[in-house]
Chain A
Amino acid sequence: MSVLVRDRATAQPAPFPSPSRTLEPRRRPSRRTILLASAVVVWILGFVFLHGTSTLTLPASELTDLHRSLNQFNVWVAANRADNPVFLYVLTPLRAGVDAVANLFITTFAASSTGLRLPEIGWLGTVGLLGWIALAIGNARVALLTVTILIFFGFQGLFLEATYTFALVVTAVLLTLLVGIPLGVLAGVYGRVAKLITPVLDFMQTLPTFVYLAPLALIFLIGPASAVIATVIYAAPPVIRLTAHGIRGIPENTREASDSLGTTGVQRLLTLQLPMARRTIVMGINQSTMAALSMVTIAALIAAPGLGQVVVRALQSLDVGTAVNAGLSIVLLAIMLDRVTTAASRRAEPGAARNRRVSRRTRYILLGMTLVLALVMVQFSRTMLWAAAFPANLDIGRVIVQAVSSASEWTQANLSLFTVSFREAVTTGILNPFQSLLTETPFYILVAAIALAAYALGGWKLSALTTACLGVIIYLGLWSDSMVTLAATLVATTVVMVLGIVFGVAMGRSARVDQIMRPMLDAGQTMPAFVYLVPFLGLFGATRFTAIIAGIIYAAPVAIKITADGIAAISPTVVEAAVSSGSTPWQVITKVQLPMARQTLALAANQGLIYVLAMVVVGALVGAGGLGYDVVAGFVQSSLFGKGLAAGLAIVFLGILLDRMTQAAAATPARKIPSPKTSTT
């Protein structure tokens, strides 16, 4: 960010002399530009002269006193679980309730809670029942897709794991909707509630998923409950937001018309607000479902069963074949859930009912008949062994695993010229210098430089906030690790923004490019964060670089979409005016479209940063260092628990810092418009 701004400050030469230049000297750079440039100068000078001093480095296995006392917290919770009233009356019952629901679904679809017996509904029953549900809430196409994908899980040898993941997702989505829809309705109906919960939702969404797993596992113990609760926290914001948005988006005149007939509040909700917001609410359910799948796979880190665990174990043993096989089934599960819920939201569209090809009656008869078929399949799966457990001799998963493994080995062996040299070039050429610029500059110089930049972007308040965030990070004893994470995040975000601008401008300027790219980007966004690591692990091996590439690919769709929308939203008249005065396309882009989309670009950078940060942290699983490594180590080694918790907090504060600074950049106009009259007060 600051690099870009500095460029603007120095790149001032006039392209050609103009007569006005003689009257007016050159345009002076704004105060903000000067401040940002001086922040960079402070930083560089600090690096050059005080290189390597006060870097606050803490070796991976060493702890601070704070970390040790956080370890004590672990012990304290264990000691107080039985008799502290908060645990006794709130947390433990909550855990028991969630566990009960989760176990209900797990025993139905996956296995008995002990894992020894077969599930209530065997694979054939699951295929039949879920296929029927897809038919009932969606259409025949998605039902067929569901059945095919489920059977394919069997062939992959992952049916059991997939049903575990599915059962957890269903539990989490159910609880999410139970909490989220009423909250969304309240926020939609009462502006005051909306004002209250919006900042909370913002915060929940900027929080990297990784961070609250450890504390939750500590409080709710390892098991389905903590995985489900973590998932609910992550998956609830979309459905709350969209429900509220759907209700608030109802045209004022429709609401007024309903009021003019004397509706009570409840009547208004049932006859007007819920039906009219139905489509948006179902879209929220779709987004929450996708978020839930993403989180359930990551919850494998706190021992949630299912596909995520297969991936985690494979990543830890660098078994690319198994990781790809399981990653593929996560992708397929994501596609299945996405398509079915999208079809359901189409069905919920007002007027969808009258455009159907089959009449309502035929549809009911069809549903009744297929339901009977599904129930017969369920019955079979409860009585016959072949229908209960997927036949092992049909397992082609091993073939996939071996093929991928050998392909990956071959790539790493034979294309190393390409992959390794690319990786090394980027690592030594860009990553290492930038990282040492951050880690080897004395911390007080960096704090000063960042505070100065924050002051330039958002005034004293922002400056104080960033300083406080950095202060907390220093207090947590993880300054150096934070700077490693920050370096990776900034490098990845820069690439994301380049991609965002290139593709976003292409999409914003051409409806056809948009049409081609958008479905791909949408698909990219529905994939759980986790699976992005897998293919790059196969290509580049376990390094920091892999995590950064995965982060770039994970964050690029958001940045591209936001930029494209920003470019497309520019009034066509302005562009037309620029073209009619003889601008070349390049001039239109650089002189009109990008400057006008400036705030959108800052917003894209903001979202890109948040996504990249989340992914860079998860990237610790494939060799990225920094805070993510501390968190993962905290999961594994109880002696590092406190440090992992501190690292989680450091990630939160780093996230807040980056979020607020980019938001401030997005909010402030490029230059202050001088107000016409001098201040009257």
Chain B
Amino acid sequence: MNSPDISVRNLWKVFGPGGDQIPGNPELSGLNSAELLERTGCNAAVRDLSFDVAKGEVFVVMGLSGSGKSTLIRCLTRLIEPTSGQVLVDGKDVLQAGMAELRELRRRKMSMVFQHFGLLPHRTVLDNVSYGLQIRGAAKKERFTRAREIIELVGLKGYEQHYPDQLSGGMQQRVGLGRALAGDPDTILFDEPFSALDPLIRRDMQAEVIRLHKEMGKTMVFVTHDLSEALKLGDRILIMRNGETVQCGTGDELVGSPADKYIEDFVSEVLRADVLTLKWITRPVEAATPADAPVLSSRMIIRDAIAAVMQSPCPVLVEDSGRITGQIDRDSILSVLQRTEAAA
């Protein structure tokens, strides 16, 4: 992993009177949510979170409603003022920034895409996309040129003069995406951007994000409550519950070795063959396996390996960085598929 783009250290957000006392108080900060509410009337939405987001990474924060994920993402640019901790962007602590500095960060470094779009109904698509540029004082001609490029990039060419309420939900979110991209930020924050869309449009939009990520290589922090979306988009996934990290890792780590019962329940319905790589089903090489057996990468998704393993008369060897780490055979593949069936 290269140098982190965003580092979050011991971040707390406690809602309620006197909430700022709680992170520093070892007795209170140790309580769970219900006890804390009972004792102090405060609600800790984010508790002592620490994580790094690498440059160019898609980092997904996932949790059920009320887990604090939306609060967390708002704390990153202080749309919600965090109670304590650090958010380091380019080595500087956002929490220590003055208002002007913070605005500069929001204008140039981090943009956000919202669940309910947050478009300005009195402005056209063009004016909405160029809004951020207007705010930071770009000349009219420059911002319209830039906005037209972006509108084309997000696939809304021809709709420049439309108003938000003339567009479908998916198209409105493309405007929201365009608005975030227009300022050319280093990082884009997504707060459940596709939850309000119907499933087919959601799939299109997910593909759109993947495409844009490939084309532009921006760092993305993506909040969702949808596990399949998380697995589809996320390089790494952080699962939150009651404001705390339950587990943080790649998709196959979560599915392959869930940290606790909660995660296990969570991932139980995932089609394991679609997520897990060969690494998770590799067994030691047996003596009977011929040395010239086919070799597959341990990072290959199981589903993609099915054809090769089924066609091979003998077990298949698995390699990681040029070294043979083990073997797999038809049984190991079938057992994964069987578990998936059972779960479904």
Interface size class of A (residues with CB under 8 A): 20 to 34
B316 at the interface (CB under 8 A from A): no
Q: Could you tell me the distance between the alpha carbons of A251 and B102 in the complex, rounded to whole angstroms? A: 23
* Inter-subunit contact B134/A271 (CB<8 Å): yes
A264 at the interface (CB under 8 A from B): yes
* Inter-subunit contact B79/A259 (CB<8 Å): yes
**A residues within 8 A CB of B119?**
254, 257
Among A254, A259, A262, A267: residue with most chain B CB under 10 A: A262
**A residues within 8 A CB of B165?**
351
**A residues within 8 A CB of B132?**
261-262
Cβ-defined partner of A350 (8 Å) among B112, B121, B134: B121
Cβ-defined partner of A351 (8 Å) among B104, B106, B114, B163: B163
Given contacts A253-B115, A254-B118, A271-B131, contact A260 B163 (CB under 8 A): no
Q: Could you tell me the distance between the alpha carbons of A267 and B120 in the complex, rounded to whole angstroms? A: 14
B176's closest neighbor in chain A, by CB? Answer: A257
Q: Could you tell me the distance between the alpha carbons of A262 and B107 in the complex, rounded to whole angstroms? A: 5
Given contacts A260-B79, A350-B163, A351-B163, contact A276 B131 (CB under 8 A): no
B179 at the interface (CB under 8 A from A): yes
Given contacts A264-B103, A267-B135, contact A258 B118 (CB under 8 A): yes
* Inter-subunit contact A262/B135 (CB<8 Å): yes
Q: Could you tell me the distance between the alpha carbons of A271 and B121 in the complex, rounded to whole angstroms? A: 11
* Inter-subunit contact B122/A276 (CB<8 Å): yes
* Inter-subunit contact B179/A261 (CB<8 Å): yes
Q: Which residues 259-281 of A sit at the B interface, judged by CB distance below 8 A?
A: 259-264, 267, 271-272, 275-276, 278
**A residues within 8 A CB of B163?**
350-351, 354
- Give, as a whole number of angstroms, the nearest-CB distance from B329 to chain A: 52
- Give, as a whole number of angstroms, the nearest-CB distance from B28 to chain A: 21
* Inter-subunit contact A257/B114 (CB<8 Å): yes
Annotate B113-157 by CB proximity to A: 1 below 8 A, 0 otherwise: 011111111110000000110111000000000000000000000
**B residues within 8 A CB of A257?**
112, 114, 117-119, 176, 179
B224 at the interface (CB under 8 A from A): no
A256 at the interface (CB under 8 A from B): yes
* Inter-subunit contact B79/A261 (CB<8 Å): no
Q: Could you tell me the distance between the alpha carbons of A654 and B134 in the complex, rounded to whole angstroms? A: 55
**B residues within 8 A CB of A263?**
103, 135
Q: Could you tell me the distance between the alpha carbons of A264 and B106 in the complex, rounded to whole angstroms? A: 11
B111 at the interface (CB under 8 A from A): yes
Q: Could you tell me the distance between the alpha carbons of A259 and B132 in the complex, rounded to whole angstroms? A: 10
Q: Which residues 38-58 of A sit at the B interface, judged by CB distance below 8 A?
A: none
Cβ-defined partner of B120 (8 Å) among A264, A272, A278: A272
* Inter-subunit contact B107/A276 (CB<8 Å): no
A278's closest neighbor in chain B, by CB? Answer: B122
* Inter-subunit contact B121/A253 (CB<8 Å): no
B116's closest neighbor in chain A, by CB? Answer: A253
Q: Could you tell me the distance between the alpha carbons of A260 and B118 in the complex, rounded to whole angstroms? A: 10
**B residues within 8 A CB of A267?**
135
Interface size class of B (residues with CB under 8 A): 20 to 34
**B residues within 8 A CB of A275?**
120, 122-123
B105 at the interface (CB under 8 A from A): yes
**B residues within 8 A CB of A276?**
120-122
B326 at the interface (CB under 8 A from A): no
* Inter-subunit contact B122/A259 (CB<8 Å): no
- Give, as a whole number of angstroms, the nearest-CB distance from A425 to chain B: 58
Cβ-defined partner of A256 (8 Å) among B79, B123, B179: B79
A352's closest neighbor in chain B, by CB? Answer: B122
Q: Could you tell me the distance between the alpha carbons of A278 and B77 in the complex, rounded to whole angstroms? A: 29
* Inter-subunit contact A258/B106 (CB<8 Å): no
Among A251, A259, A276: residue with most chain B CB under 10 A: A259
- Give, as a whole number of angstroms, the nearest-CB distance from B97 to chain A: 12
Given contacts A261-B131, A272-B120, contact A253 B106 (CB under 8 A): no
Given contacts A275-B122, A350-B122, contact A260 B77 (CB under 8 A): yes
- Give, as a whole number of angstroms, the nearest-CB distance from A86 to chain B: 41
* Inter-subunit contact B118/A262 (CB<8 Å): no
* Inter-subunit contact B120/A261 (CB<8 Å): no
* Inter-subunit contact B112/A260 (CB<8 Å): yes
Q: Could you tell me the distance between the alpha carbons of A57 and B114 in the complex, rounded to whole angstroms? A: 69
* Inter-subunit contact B120/A259 (CB<8 Å): no
B183 at the interface (CB under 8 A from A): yes
- Give, as a whole number of angstroms, the nearest-CB distance from A593 to chain B: 34
* Inter-subunit contact A262/B79 (CB<8 Å): no
B134's closest neighbor in chain A, by CB? Answer: A271
**B residues within 8 A CB of A255?**
118
Q: Could you tell me the distance between the alpha carbons of A267 and B106 in the complex, rounded to whole angstroms? A: 14
Annotate A330-367 by CB proximity to B: 1 below 8 A, 0 otherwise: 00000000000000000000110010000000000000
* Inter-subunit contact A251/B136 (CB<8 Å): no
Q: Could you tell me the distance between the alpha carbons of A343 and B258 in the complex, rounded to whole angstroms? A: 63
* Inter-subunit contact A253/B118 (CB<8 Å): yes
Annotate A269-302 by CB proximity to B: 1 below 8 A, 0 otherwise: 0011001101000000000000000000000000
B124's closest neighbor in chain A, by CB? Answer: A354
- Give, as a whole number of angstroms, the nearest-CB distance from A282 to chain B: 13
- Give, as a whole number of angstroms, the nearest-CB distance from B182 to chain A: 9
Q: Could you tell me the distance between the alpha carbons of A261 and B188 in the complex, rounded to whole angstroms? A: 11
B80's closest neighbor in chain A, by CB? Answer: A256
Cβ-defined partner of A251 (8 Å) among B79, B105, B116, B131: B116
- Give, as a whole number of angstroms, the nearest-CB distance from A257 to chain B: 3
* Inter-subunit contact B122/A261 (CB<8 Å): no
Q: Could you tell me the distance between the alpha carbons of A255 and B117 in the complex, rounded to whole angstroms? A: 11
Q: Could you tell me the distance between the alpha carbons of A626 and B112 in the complex, rounded to whole angstroms? A: 65
Q: Which residues 56-105 of B sit at the A interface, judged by CB distance below 8 A?
A: 74, 77, 79, 102-105
**B residues within 8 A CB of A278?**
122
- Give, as a whole number of angstroms, the nearest-CB distance from B119 to chain A: 7
**B residues within 8 A CB of A261?**
106-107, 111, 131-132, 135, 179, 183
- Give, as a whole number of angstroms, the nearest-CB distance from B30 to chain A: 25
Among B115, B116, B119: residue with most chain A CB under 10 A: B116
Q: Could you tell me the distance between the alpha carbons of A83 and B176 in the complex, rounded to whole angstroms? A: 64
- Give, as a whole number of angstroms, the nearest-CB distance from B57 to chain A: 21
Among A258, A261, A351: residue with most chain B CB under 10 A: A261
* Inter-subunit contact B131/A260 (CB<8 Å): no
Q: Could you tell me the distance between the alpha carbons of A275 and B132 in the complex, rounded to whole angstroms? A: 17
B131's closest neighbor in chain A, by CB? Answer: A261
**A residues within 8 A CB of B115?**
253
A257's closest neighbor in chain B, by CB? Answer: B118
Q: Could you tell me the distance between the alpha carbons of A257 and B132 in the complex, rounded to whole angstroms? A: 10
Given contacts A254-B119, A254-B120, A276-B120, contact A259 B106 (CB under 8 A): yes
Q: Could you tell me the distance between the alpha carbons of A263 and B106 in the complex, rounded to whole angstroms? A: 9
Q: Could you tell me the distance between the alpha carbons of A671 and B119 in the complex, rounded to whole angstroms? A: 45
**A residues within 8 A CB of B118?**
251, 253-258
Q: Could you tell me the distance between the alpha carbons of A261 and B109 in the complex, rounded to whole angstroms? A: 10
Given contacts A253-B116, A257-B114, A271-B135, contact A262 B122 (CB under 8 A): no
- Give, as a whole number of angstroms, the nearest-CB distance from A181 to chain B: 18
Among B79, B106, B122: residue with most chain A CB under 10 A: B122
- Give, as a whole number of angstroms, the nearest-CB distance from B8 to chain A: 18
**A residues within 8 A CB of B179?**
257, 261
**B residues within 8 A CB of A259?**
79, 106
- Give, as a whole number of angstroms, the nearest-CB distance from B159 to chain A: 13
A-B contact pairs, 9 of them (CB 8 A): A253-B114, A254-B119, A256-B114, A262-B106, A263-B103, A267-B135, A275-B120, A276-B120, A276-B122
Q: Could you list which residues of chain B lie within 8 angstroms of chain A, going by C-beta atoms?
A: 74, 77, 79, 102-107, 111-112, 114-123, 131-132, 134-136, 163, 165, 176, 179, 183, 189
Closest A-B pairs by Cβ, 5 of them: A257-B118, A262-B106, A262-B107, A262-B103, A260-B112
- With A256-B74, A257-B112 known, 14 other A-B pairs at CB within 8 A are A251-B116, A253-B114, A253-B116, A255-B118, A256-B79, A258-B131, A260-B77, A262-B103, A262-B104, A262-B132, A264-B103, A267-B135, A275-B122, A350-B163
Q: Could you list which residues of chain A lie within 8 angstroms of chain B, going by C-beta atoms?
A: 251, 253-264, 267, 271-272, 275-276, 278, 350-351, 354
